[in-house]
Amino acid sequence: MCTFSEALIEKSELRGELRGEVKGEIRGEIKGIAKGVLQLVKNHIASNIEQAMDMLSVDEKMRSDIERILENR
């Protein structure tokens, strides 16, 4: 039989796992978008990063993260 505290610990661990999975998915999505932005600039389809992000309709909230990723390449 499971005690209440054990149930809380298990629930907390599951939340932590889910949170980690969501963070990983978001990071992967941002890295994928950054790769697309870089390709648009490299292939001379966009003249700069901002234009490439506009072409891809990148959300304003994600732009600084994408710029940071591209700076570190």
pLDDT in tens, 36-53: 999 999 999 999 999 999
- For tokens 């998915």, what's the residue? 25
pLDDT at 7 over 70: no
Domain boundaries, the chain: 30-73
What is the pLDDT averaged over residues 19-40? 93
Give the chain's radius of gyration (CA, Å).
19
Task: Give pLDDT, residue 24.
Answer: 92
Burial annotation 47-66 (CB, 10 A radius, 16+ → b, else e)? eebeebbeeeebeeeebebb
Burial of 68 (0-12, 13-18, 19+ CB in 10 A): exposed
